[in-house]
Amino acid sequence: MINYNGMEAKWQKAWADARIFESDVNDKPAYMVTAAWPYVNTPLHIGHLRAFGTSDVLARYKRMRGFNVIYPMGFHATGTPVLAFAKRIKNGDGEIVEELKVFHVPDAEIQKMTEPAYIAAYFTNESRQLYGRSGFSMDPRRSFVSTDPQFSKMVEWQFAILNSKGYLTKGRHPVGWCPNENNAVGMHDTKHDVEPEIEEEIAVLFRVDGEDAYVLCTTYRPETLFGVTNMFVNEKSQYVACRIGDDGKRYYISKAAASMLKYQTKVEVIEEIGADKLLAKTCINPINGSKLPVLPGFFVKEGVGTGVVMSVPAHAPFDYAALERLRKEGRLQQEIKPIKMLDVKIGRSLSDVSTGDAKPEHLDVPALAYLEILHTNVDAIDDMLEFATKLEYREESHWGKMLAKGYEGMSEPEARERMKKELASGGNAISIYVLQNTPVYCRCGYEVVVKVVEDQWFINYGDKAWKEEAKKALGRMKLLPDRARNAFDAAMGWIDMRAVARAQGLGTVFPLDKTKIIESLSDSTIYMSFYTISNFVKDIAPEKLKPEFFDFVFRGIGDADKVAASTGIDYSIIKKCRESFEYWYRDTSRGSGPDLIFNHLVMYIYNHTAVFDNAYWPKQIVINGFVMSEGEKMSKSLGNIVPLSDALEKYGADPSRMNVIAGADLYSDSDFSGTAVRGIQERLEYLYNAAMGLDKLSSGELKSIDYWLYSRLNGKIGKATIAMEKLELRDAYISIFYDSVLELRRYFARGGGNGIVVKDFLSGVALMLQPMTPHFAEEMWHALGNGSFASLEKWPEADKDMIDAKAESMEEAIEKTLEDARQAIALMEKKSGRKAAALKLMIAEDWKRKLVGTLAKERRVDKAIASVRGEAGVNTEIASRIAAMLAKRMNELRPVDTAQQDEYAGFADAAEYMAKQLGCRVEVEKEAASKSERAWRAMPLKPSLDIAF
């Protein structure tokens, strides 16, 4: 049993002593690998092992391919999460304490985490240790935190460039807002981490009959105005008359709506009224002038929208149900007839329900028909009505055809857009922002509202010229896997204004408004370039890092003398920084998760084109998938997040790496599973034991099985190298790792036992394992008698001459024949009730090889027969019969290179092995020499079988 933790400690120490992963500028070609940095209050889990490990595999592979590689890693601390984190600790939030305990953070440490600086210090320290234990070959000297003042200076410089290019603009912007704490709230500020989803919605003005006033009503479906029969309010709610904005009109909305709306625009309440006042009024439909009574609706919520709902009973189950319930209670004064304004085949999207379930006469009231096909009615609970509503909305918007005049035949989305335009241009609607997923609560307990921030600063990613540059950069980049390109193209076309300044959070002060902080994704778009100089500028006073310093280092503007004079920085350091940047930043790879394509990665490309010369634009992006735990998605709520430290402790770094990194395709999710990791451990041990057992093996002349193993090794090297270049790690390591174990087992089972051959094989495997299982590879490399570091060796080269197609097809034939024989023997033994005593293999004559070859090439039966006619031992009748048989599978025919003598020798060599496998004697003879009636059936590499009892 291998003690992984001991082995890892041993090699980590050895590497540290040799300082082999700390690279500086030298004569080798440079390669820089970066991975998206972790947020500073996030304890590392198994998902990080995949993200950072994938980059580590790339870094290690590239080193073996002769590159000088750096793999630096810093920490992200800007933004609000770390502040929210500190606050929660301060407030004794039990939830977060529980989370931290999962990661074995001691109580004493948790107590101290009330200061952001302490949190950062604690987790950066923890993470660095875990990087080491995971075998990440990172350069620790280049690590920095996004709140470091030296880095802030670079961000300021970057934003000055963006501003000078006119990429920073100002405007209005809606945000989620806590009225109690008076600040913007994002996901991590809300209870249960809910993202406040803001949506712009249309609010229709319904004039009140006989009054110069309007009832304001939000709706998702303005096109259903054609079907409105009445209005609904909540009879228990308070309403207000008010003025909204500057239009001077008098509006009626719920009191709750008024207090939310005031965060978006000016709201002046004139008077408070009870719902009864509204119930006495009649509204006018703005599109056709019809009169709409105001009625009580049981489902109307004062805090949703404006607290007023327009009723479309034909197309909304809630509205229909509300009217019917009023009717039953005898509270409906007048007849209200649903107005159908949209035609759709009801229940079309359901396979198990047919429209036959709805009574035909009800098809004119689709809302009712939908209730019927779901086998429910107007008294259903709200959830059921909600379900019917969703179904109806979906089918209608998908397949519905408008019936209303002027809109005939239009699809619903099309009609919606047109109606919106008409309403807006006629002054019959205004737009307001609403929270789509109400209610959302701030962690302080207050309900979140939408606030419109005036004077918001944006980065204008919609700028045409800039977008062109970014697209150009993207077009030249390598994406791994390339199928992510569609997502990039889409994101690139889509990204537009991005709010860039925030009122609170850690980070760099926004230069154009010193009361604001630069938003935290925007301050980390070119930070990777800072790694090239971070080790040199660490101790330089931030105020010395003036724009001219960065201009010179990153853009080659000016000269070092003058920069030294004006900044007071050492001339030699300035030169070193420039040299380092130019050396390291040409050939780079950026690793990241798929969730970052739509923001960080696109911004990364954009900002590089804005700041750097195109020689330093991004070259490659690698997207890796997530990690599941035992087949389930890891989440806080499931409590199944596997801390990285636990995985390392329990299984060791190498088996965990293999499982998580090579366990799935680059882009898809991999599964961290105990059984899979144990399976990996067992195979690693098999390989290690094979290396330890080498001295028991003999040497001597090479047999065919030895050539086979060499062939497999060299084929494997070629295959794995191609896969590694594309970072198809699963493919590569199935071949390098899993297949190698199977091949060795087969080699020994087939009587192989040449120590030199096995050693060559294991050496190749050990070297190719190095990027994935670095500690184990060193251990094995040394067990094979080498004194060097596997991590500093060259990646093996395939020797094409050693790839022996004949040896491989011979082995395949043996295996296939074995399978056939097993089946035939089983069948015969079952039938006869006796045990088979012997198996005779008859090897096809050479003329059959010629026949197959000609047929495969010429694809004509007559030519094939002609080609063998007259040859020794050829019976034309048998030849035609065989040719006809083969012709049926013409397209699958492949010429066979192996001559009868070689095939005979191959099977003769394998006879002992086959006998052992089958449990009976195995004899081999040539077709012509055989007395068996079945001999004629022999085909090249498919011997005819004869079973004797």
Partner RNA sequence: GCGGGGGUGGCAGAGCUUGGCCAAAUGCGCAGGAUUGAGGUUCCUGUGGUUUUAGUACCUGCAAGGGUUCAAAUCCCUUCCCCCGCACCA
Q: Which string of DSSP letters, residue by residue, matches 115-181?
A: SHHHHHHHHHHHHHHHHHHTT----GGG--BTT-HHHHHHHHHHHHHHHHTT-EEEEEEEEEEETTT
* Cβ nearer to RNA, comparing 329 with 892: 892
* Cβ nearer to RNA, comparing 792 with 826: 826
Give the Cα separation of 728 and 740 in Å (integer). 18
Give the Cα separation of 763 and 696 in Å (integer). 17
Taking the complex as a whole, the smallest distance from the CB of residue 890 to RNA amounts, in Å, to: 8
Give the Cα separation of 526 and 389 in Å (integer). 47
Taking the complex as a whole, the smallest distance from the CB of residue 105 to RNA amounts, in Å, to: 19
Taking the complex as a whole, the smallest distance from the CB of residue 582 to RNA amounts, in Å, to: 30
Taking the complex as a whole, the smallest distance from the CB of residue 521 to RNA amounts, in Å, to: 5
Q: Which string of DSSP letters, residue by residue, matches 384-397?
A: HHHHHHHHHHHHHH
* Tokens read off for 604: 């990364």
Q: Check whether the bond before 179 is cis (ω within 30° of 0).
A: no
Taking the complex as a whole, the smallest distance from the CB of residue 854 to RNA amounts, in Å, to: 18
* Cβ nearer to RNA, comparing 137 with 152: 152
Q: Which string of DSSP letters, residue by residue, matches 722-771?
A: HHHHTT-HHHHHIIIIIHHHHHHHHHHHTT--BHHHHHHHHHHHHHHHTT
* Tokens read off for 677: 């990791």
Taking the complex as a whole, the smallest distance from the CB of residue 839 to RNA amounts, in Å, to: 8
Maximum C-alpha span of the chain? 114
Give the Cα separation of 583 and 543 in Å (integer). 26
- Give the pairing of strands 238-244 and 230-233: unpaired
| Burial state string for 738-777 with b = 16 or more CB within 10 A and e = fewer than 16 | ebbbebbebbeebebbbeebbbbbbbbbbbbbbbbbbbbb
Give the Cα separation of 723 and 725 in Å (integer). 5
Taking the complex as a whole, the smallest distance from the CB of residue 286 to RNA amounts, in Å, to: 24
Taking the complex as a whole, the smallest distance from the CB of residue 395 to RNA amounts, in Å, to: 8
Q: How many Cβ atoms sit within 10 Å of the Cβ of residue 808? A: 15
Taking the complex as a whole, the smallest distance from the CB of residue 848 to RNA amounts, in Å, to: 11
SS3 592: strand
DSSP 435: E
Cβ-contact 316, 324 below 8 angstroms: no
Helix (H), strand (E) at residue 107: helix 107-112
Angstrom CA distances, 146 to 77, 152, 654, 751, 810, stand at 6, 7, 30, 60, 60
- Give the pairing of strands 627-629 and 168-178: unpaired
* Cβ nearer to RNA, comparing 99 with 669: 669
Taking the complex as a whole, the smallest distance from the CB of residue 867 to RNA amounts, in Å, to: 21
* Cβ nearer to RNA, comparing 566 with 668: 668
* Cβ nearer to RNA, comparing 269 with 911: 911
Residue 528 half-sphere exposure toward CB, CA atoms < 13 A: 33
Give the Cα separation of 229 and 319 in Å (integer). 10
Taking the complex as a whole, the smallest distance from the CB of residue 206 to RNA amounts, in Å, to: 26
Provide CB contacts within 8 A for 931, sequence distance 6+. Answer: none
Cβ-contact 124, 514 below 8 angstroms: no
* Cβ nearer to RNA, comparing 70 with 77: 77
* Cβ nearer to RNA, comparing 327 with 394: 394
* Tokens read off for 904: 């005979």
* Cβ nearer to RNA, comparing 439 with 547: 439
Q: Residue 658 corresponds to which amino acid?
A: M
* Cβ nearer to RNA, comparing 545 with 658: 658
* Cβ nearer to RNA, comparing 696 with 888: 888
Residue 57 half-sphere exposure toward CB, CA atoms < 13 A: 31
* Cβ nearer to RNA, comparing 67 with 75: 75
Taking the complex as a whole, the smallest distance from the CB of residue 486 to RNA amounts, in Å, to: 3
Taking the complex as a whole, the smallest distance from the CB of residue 405 to RNA amounts, in Å, to: 24
* Cβ nearer to RNA, comparing 129 with 349: 349
Taking the complex as a whole, the smallest distance from the CB of residue 651 to RNA amounts, in Å, to: 14
Taking the complex as a whole, the smallest distance from the CB of residue 14 to RNA amounts, in Å, to: 30
Give the Cα separation of 442 and 183 in Å (integer). 10
Taking the complex as a whole, the smallest distance from the CB of residue 20 to RNA amounts, in Å, to: 31
* Cβ nearer to RNA, comparing 294 with 803: 803
Residue 164 half-sphere exposure toward CB, CA atoms < 13 A: 8
- Closest to 620 (Cα-Cα) out of 635, 636, 604: 604
Taking the complex as a whole, the smallest distance from the CB of residue 299 to RNA amounts, in Å, to: 23
Q: Check whether the bond before 439 is cis (ω within 30° of 0).
A: yes
* Cβ nearer to RNA, comparing 284 with 391: 391
Taking the complex as a whole, the smallest distance from the CB of residue 496 to RNA amounts, in Å, to: 4
Give the Cα separation of 75 and 116 in Å (integer). 13
- Closest to 371 (Cα-Cα) out of 306, 313, 414, 332: 313
Q: How many Cβ atoms sit within 10 Å of the Cβ of residue 479? A: 18
* Cβ nearer to RNA, comparing 38 with 796: 38
* Cβ nearer to RNA, comparing 276 with 414: 414
Give the Cα separation of 496 and 494 in Å (integer). 6
* Cβ nearer to RNA, comparing 601 with 790: 601
